[in-house]
Amino acid sequence: MSGLSQYLHIKPETALPDIGALAPFRAVVIVEAVVSPEWQSLVSDWLVRSGCLYMMAWGTNCSSWDDSVDMANVQQFDCGEIPEDGFVMTTWHEKEPLGEVFWFAKNMPFTLLSSLSARCYSTSPQIAKRAKS
């Protein structure tokens, strides 16, 4: 993973670019508008399948993005066991300043994510089961 950041501005209901070459990566999703559930699901699946291992959501209805990416991660493995190297850590930052979210994204080492993922909480039964193991 390179230390360089890349900014993508994606408008709702537009084509999603191929970002697989960036894998593995962290993504800060800045949500500026409410989008359709179908679009949110499509983007969440795109992030997971493209190699996102940590997604931080900030902005409008950002907690729903946490759930949506969790669900895409579960569905990627057909609701079965998620391997350690396929687990996507998700967080939402409803009350934090955006600058703090970017600081965290830049400074959080990937090696720490594995130990944190074992302690995460999610409303998804598959993710909650994984958190207990």
For residue 119, tell me if it sits in a domain.
yes
What value does the mean pLDDT of the chain take? 82
pLDDT band (50, 70, 90) for residue 124 = very low
Residue 11 in any domain: the answer is no
Place of tokens 């989008």: 35
| CA pair distance 120, 21, nearest whole angstrom | 27
Residue 10 lies in a domain: no
In a domain, 1, yes or no: no
What are 7-56's pLDDT values in tens digits?
A: 899 989 999 999 999 999 999 999 998 899 999 999 999 999 999 999 99
Q: Is residue 2 assigned to a domain? A: no
Task: Identify the domain containing residue 24 by its residue range.
Answer: 20-132
**Bigger pLDDT: 120 vs 104:** 104
pLDDT band, residue 5 (cuts 50/70/90): confident
Q: Does residue 114 lie in a domain region?
A: yes
> Does residue 8 lie in a domain region?
no
Name the residue with higher pLDDT: 86 or 121. 86
For residue 127, pLDDT over 60 is answered with no
Q: In total, how many domains does the chain have? A: 1
pLDDT value of residue 3 = 61
In a domain, 6, yes or no: no
